[in-house]
Structure 1
Amino acid sequence: MRILAKDNSQHTYYFTDIQELDICDEEAVSAFVSGNQIEMIVNCAAYTAVDKAEDNPELCDTLNRVAPGILARVAQQNGAGIIQVSTDYVFDGTTHVPYLETDSPCPNSIYGTTKLGGEQEVMQACEQAVVIRTAWLYSTFGNNFVKTMIRLGKERETLGVVFDQIGTPTYAGDLAQAICTIINKGIVRGVYHFSNEGVCSWYDFTLAIHRLSGITTCKVSPLHTADYPVKANRPHYSVLDKTKIKKTFGIDIPHWEESLVQCLDKLNIEN
């Protein structure tokens, strides 16, 4: 969002982290929103350590459910709107067709359960609310799967990656652009799905990352989920149907590999 702000200069932006604003403090949020005459809140904050969440359910619930509820109530009180970023983990991943917004959520992890709670809090508290469920996010910033696979591909001769979890990688830059489009066109209340187009496994995604990064010295092997035990359940199939967001806001979504190339190009320039 910070990068795209320069292309949407008709708005004034306030980017905050915990140092600037504690979103779990309703009084502080209210003062910040009213004092700065905020018209739209985009909540990208979340507890996303999926496995650690199983051991820290209260903290996860505070950040993923309680805080979005606070932001939504304050938005409503100030006549503002809110866009809440959510996740494919609200589904258990036991289907084999892309999930629609009308499909009943059925999370099977603390992370997914608390994110669904955040969706419900936002939709209940604010009239001008949009929830965007996304999946497999990566970018040039912070730690993410793409950067990790590049690093491991350069460090190791062999690497095992699960092949039986299917979804769609999402470039955060594309998600940010979609959010800007929604803001500019105006809130149409509801829940929406957004990821890049196409489908792959984590194994396929890794092969593409290495191929496009010119990594040839690391052999990547497919693993079953059972061969890589973790605390939290992952959806085995969490492809999201994007028809609703494309039709409602006229958004054109690129294929995941096309966006991966863009991200890798930016990483190469930065490095």
Structure 2
Amino acid sequence: MERWASGEQYEPYVGRWSRLVATEFVAWLDQPPGLRWLDVGCGTGALTGTVVRDAEPASVLGIDRSEGFLEYARRTVPEATFEVRAAEDLTDGSFDVVVSGLVLNFVPDREALLRRLHGVGGVVAAYVWDYAEGMQLMTHFWEVAGEVDPAWRDLNEATRFPFCRPDALEEMFTGAGFADVASRGITVPTVFTSFEDYWTPFLGGQGAAPAYLSTVDDGTREEIRIALQERLPVEPDGSIRLTARAWAVRGISS
């Protein structure tokens, strides 16, 4: 059901929070300047732009299957090169560092992709959201949606992507042949200025929850909105202060 077409709609939903994770992620990789980087499934360029800004790369190539996302990335990260490719359709050549943010859970054959990345990258690293326990903005939504519209409970990413935890990520990287595999959690604040700041991105249709919401009737959508507004921890000033946790993993091609 996921839709990935509009960078402008995706950014307020998840992109802005991924950018916060990307800053810590690139710092954790701690790579020297002057390297060739590849960003697999680069989307709107959240991670690509962070690499350009913080890693002093010699070059950065971002690939993604969505032309709409890449149009946004080209405008916001002009220093990088972008190509329309699926994650599995890697360009030929080798790279010093290969990274991938919020992509592994949408790849049909993760093991095959990681083996391919092992062949093209020296250092390979990725991060995914902790859907089960650490992605509060989505958890609140799916809890309410599951109560209002139980038939769609299985769309919840926490149910669909049980591998998004450090032990499973490390096991996948080790199984793909990587050495010195390590993981860590990255938690960032997701502060919404108001309920509308939280709710409006869910109406954009980009990602699982917004795509689901676009399929329900007006009455169901309004019931979900009201229940969420009652459930979320709203501060006296109207803001909503949540957190988002991602699990990051890295390995060395041996």
Normalised TM-score (structure 2): 0.36
Please state which structure has a larger fraction of its residues in strand: 2
